[in-house]
Amino acid sequence: MPKSKSRPATTVQQSTLIGVAVLCLAVGFLGGVVFSIYKSTGVPPVTEPTAAQPDIGDRAQELDRLTKETAQNPGNAAAWTQLGNLYFDTNVPDKAIWAYQKSLEIDPANPNVWTDLGVMYRRSNQPQEALKAFDEAIRLDPKHEPARFNKGIVQLHDLNDPAAGIKTWEDLLAINPLAMAPNGKSVDELVAIYKKNIQKTK
């Protein structure tokens, strides 16, 4: 959420209250974006975990297979990535981070894994580490759209830096003017909404 402009404690103008109310409505409208991110190593977008999502116990056989594979072949970057994906999908961010880091030790030039690592850092409340991971993905692939979109999410909603988040999304639009958020909203529409409501709160 954007930082509110500081005002004297004794007076709050009615226009300010209206602006805050409009901003709150916009944040509600964008709720699907706040809790939606792009997973790079899988095709579909994924949402932040809910109680309805499976835990690791539902995929015990897959976990056992990948654990054995990475133990027997620790140089298999793909197996480490798959293990990271399993922990990603079952909401075990600390172990996902560990597995993705193992993968990147072997193949550090994979922007998809860097992006998913960034998502896991965000989910474990490490936004600065998330930004570093997204920036590395962008360095490796300047046209990597999921990394740019997710970076904007962190800037807007975790670091309360709307100017930086909007700039990140505008850079994404320069690469792909038709870029879409995971919830189906166009990124240019989201940028316009943020700009409009930031102006209304000034």
Q: Which of the four pLDDT bands, split at 50, 70 and 90, describes residue 53?
A: low
Q: Which of the four pLDDT bands, split at 50, 70 and 90, describes residue 5?
A: very low
Through-space distance between the first and last CA atoms of the chain, rounded to whole angstroms: 14
Distances (CA, A) of 136 to 50, 67, 117, 151: 29, 27, 11, 11
Domains of the chain: 14-200 (1.25.40.10)
pTM for this one?
0.76
From the centroid of its chain, how far is CA 131?
A: 9
80: Cβ contacts below 8 Å, ≥ 6 apart = 70, 99, 100, 102, 103, 106
Q: What is the pLDDT of residues 114-146, one digit of tens each?
A: 999 999 999 999 999 999 999 999 999 999 999
